[in-house]
Amino acid sequence: MNILETPRLILRKLNSTDFNDIFEIISDEETCLDDGGFHAYSIKDDKFYSLMNLFLHQRRVGIILKNENKLIGLINLQDADRAVLTYELGFVLNKNYRHQGYAYEAINNLINDYFEKGKVEMFTVSHFPYNKSSENLIKKLGFTYEGIKKNALKHARDGILDLKCYYKEK
């Protein structure tokens, strides 16, 4: 992935120097439950470092705040099962940096870059029905509501949950 810049952010591939900032994000229980329905990490053990190794080999993008040189969020791009080249978009932001426009700035820039360079034809994204912040961001980014994926995921706190699904085409 090429490095992308916005006025306040740098978007780049993850590296091992990001692990402490990532731990700050995934050691927060509400963040983890809202993001993927899993419990937070409490220590940097073998399980944590195995996850970090996996992150380094996935299509994950770090959201770096320029003025602090700090990773404040992650964007994940996974292959989606569609007839056209599609990435399923995931995102998470450090709770201390939310509601300041960083997620919108980062994701919008990444989507535009991928569309302009022909890297993808469509993005999909989903969220838990209770997560209104994600829903608002997804709508602001111009995604179209696609429907409900019933019984989509087993949530660590809330049991089996649906997902609200959206798409955005080039």
Domains and CATH numbers, the chain: 4-169 (3.40.630.30)
Do residues 22 and 60 touch, judged by C-beta distance below 8 A?
A: no
The 3-state DSSP class for residue 5 equals strand
pLDDT in tens, the chain (170 residues): 789 999 999 999 999 999 999 999 999 999 999 999 999 999 999 999 999 999 999 999 999 999 999 999 999 999 999 999 999 999 999 999 999 999 999 999 999 999 999 999 999 999 999 999 999 999 999 999 999 999 999 999 999 999 999 999 99
Q: For position 95, what pLDDT does the model report?
A: 97
CB count within 10 Å of CB 125 equals 24
The continuous run of DSSP H or E covering 158 comes out as none
pLDDT at 1: 73
The contacts of residue 155 (CB under 8 Å, 6+ apart) are 33, 37, 128, 161
pTM of the model: 0.94
DSSP output for 26-40: HT-HHHHHHHHS-PP
The answer to whether residues 88 and 80 touch, using CB atoms and an 8 Å cutoff, is yes
